[in-house]
Amino acid sequence: MPEPLRRFTPFTRGQLVLLGLLAAAPLFGESLAASGRTVVVYAILALGLNIVVGWTGLLHLGIAAFAAIGAYVYGILTCEIYPFQLGFWGGLAAAAAFGAAAGVLLGAPTLRLRGDYLAIVTLGFGEIVQDALKNLDTITKGTQGINPLPGATVPGVSLLSSASQVVATKSSSVADGAAVSGTDWVGWFQISNETPVRWYFLYLVVLSVIVFLCRNLEFSRLGRQWFAVREDELAARCMAIEPDKAKLKAFAIGAALAALSGAMLASVLSSTGEPSNYDFQISILALCIVIVGGIGSITGILVGAIVMIGLNNVALPAISDAMQTAGIGSTSNVFTSPNNYKYLTFGLALVLMMRFRPDGIVHSRKAVQK
């Protein structure tokens, strides 16, 4: 008798190893923590996309639009130039809620479209959102972006002392080479760009919670409905499942996660950036992470995010730097600057995966049995 509760461990072994690996990253240098935040943000974006593409089987080419919506909602609701100023956590919650609402708004009238047609609608939505954000410059500040935006905080603690004071005490005590002073414990909770390690750990906790929630959904009634709709919509209908509702829920949850990731990225950058930062490339990058990592597999998506973003933000710049210090590289020449290879590597990764391992680096549990 296979024990039914075995699957309700919060994480699989693979997920624990990957989350542990991510947690250990700052040991290899603080700069890794800074790029680690990007890895986490893209992992969340790809987890959202996976619910729509991997689990429900709907091709979605405009996930970046929801990230943009999340970033701008976070921007508008937290920036000092507007009266709302909800703070970091309020901003994140609002971004996810608005993302879900936008998902419903796009999904409700269009989810009855099948296959390619839905992909075209999502692609168009991605372009429309960018253009709308660009042109609503009274609200979104156009190509300038909304800034500055608040960074991550742990609630309650930042009230004790202002950020600059803590950073100042901290740096002075470090400069003195003195032992950690009595008041410095406050600094541990104070998260800022000067201490990206703590910020990174906070984001890692958020990612872990999302992995846990996604995993619960995967084995829930709703998850089974998604799979059934993906495998055979008519058969699912004949089992009294309403595919439209299941798809709409997938769309809304996927959009909420994408919006959350957008807000988290905006918080890291302290700016929403310009609307064209959330273009088709980002949607494709998220899709690459899902496909390369293993479509439908949470563990696979963590791997995909680490591989793709690691390649993009850590490995290629590091190689470029190394080549430059060695005197063989120059930023002016495309061929001698691996930093410019990122789209090439994405394409290459996709082609190689399709040829040698079409189910992704980590097979989803269903594909294993094939």
Chain residues in the site for another protein (CB under 8 A): 2, 4-5, 8, 80-83, 105, 109, 136, 138-139, 213, 216-217, 219-225, 227-228, 231-232, 234-244, 249, 366-367, 369-370
CB of 36 to another protein, least distance (A): 26
Closer residue to another protein (CB): 184 or 244: 244
Between CA 105 and CA 66 the distance in angstroms is 12
Between CA 222 and CA 247 the distance in angstroms is 10
CB of 74 to another protein, least distance (A): 17
CB of 296 to another protein, least distance (A): 9
CB of 156 to another protein, least distance (A): 23
Closest CA to 82 of 131, 33, 152, 138: 138
CB of 365 to another protein, least distance (A): 9
Inter-residue contact 86 to 239 (CB < 8 Å) = no
Render the burial of 227-242: b for 16+ CB within 10 Å, e for the rest.
bbbbeebeebeeeebe
Between CA 329 and CA 321 the distance in angstroms is 8
Give the other-Cβ count within 10 Å of 43's Cβ: 30
Lookup: tokens for 161: 């002392």
Closer residue to another protein (CB): 198 or 249: 249
Closer residue to another protein (CB): 233 or 274: 233
Between CA 239 and CA 224 the distance in angstroms is 12
Closer residue to another protein (CB): 55 or 346: 55
Closer residue to another protein (CB): 102 or 349: 102
Closer residue to another protein (CB): 31 or 162: 162
Closer residue to another protein (CB): 239 or 354: 239
Inter-residue contact 213 to 11 (CB < 8 Å) = no
CB of 123 to another protein, least distance (A): 21
- State the residue for tokens 């439908």: 296
Lookup: tokens for 122: 């999502």
CB of 53 to another protein, least distance (A): 15
Closer residue to another protein (CB): 127 or 232: 232
Closer residue to another protein (CB): 224 or 280: 224
CB of 364 to another protein, least distance (A): 8
Lookup: tokens for 264: 């988290």
CB of 225 to another protein, least distance (A): 7
Between CA 200 and CA 313 the distance in angstroms is 15
Inter-residue contact 344 to 336 (CB < 8 Å) = no
Inter-residue contact 229 to 240 (CB < 8 Å) = no
- 257: Cβ contacts below 8 Å, ≥ 6 apart: 44, 45, 47, 48, 51, 96, 99, 210
Q: What is the DSSP letter of 181?
A: P
